[in-house]
Amino acid sequence: MPNIDWRIEAIDVTTCNCDFSCPCQFNALPTHGDCRAAVGFLIEKGHFGETSLDGVKFVVLAAWPRAIHEGEGEAQLIIDEATDEAQREAVTKLALGEETEPGATIFNVFSNVIDTYYEPIIRPIEIEADIEARTARISVPGIVEGTGAPIRNPVTGDPHRVRVVLPHGFEYREAEYASSTVKTQEARIPLEWANAHAHLARVVWTPQGVVAA
């Protein structure tokens, strides 16, 4: 059981190499047989015990050789250099799924299917997101650059809006779906794709899981 009280209210920018919609959201197998992802979080308001997490940014790069539930995953945590030691320790514990009830959050779930966690990297991070417009940007100079944009109608080019609701989701309750382009430079987990999946959400997490935003 969790020993530390914590809560975060954050902007979640998730990108992956699958086709739009991300089959994982529907209990289906990944588009290309494997799963590769770059995820950015901007904590607007939060705490971990007595440590404030207001304004903290972090990014996770991850990959699995097959479907996520089959395991053998690897993950790289990147924490914004503007954080202090207490904040870095808190974010690391959250990203490892610690101080969380079993299965309550995406990081706790993923902790059961990731075999390799690389040492956290401290770097400057930029995360921007307009959920309503379905636009986003993740930037860790020299490591990863990613953007999110509206899905476009292939005939007219007009924005195509999709919103997904997961009443019992362990990442979000509701998210806007978008298109992503991601490329790493120097990274333990190489990633590269264009016109693939993205979703943008405002999330609220506690040790007991996702709560209404």
* Predicted pLDDT of residue 3: 86
Lookup: tokens for 37 = 């992802």
* Predicted pLDDT of residue 107: 95
Contact 13, 133 (CB under 8 A): no
Mean pLDDT for 22-49 is 96
Q: What does pLDDT average to over the chain?
A: 96
Is 80 exceeded by the pLDDT of residue 212? no
Mean pLDDT for 72-89 is 98
Q: How confident is the model at residue 116 (pLDDT cuts 50, 70, 90)?
A: very high
Question: Distances in Å between the alpha carbon of 49 and those of 87, 93, 185?
Answer: 11, 12, 35
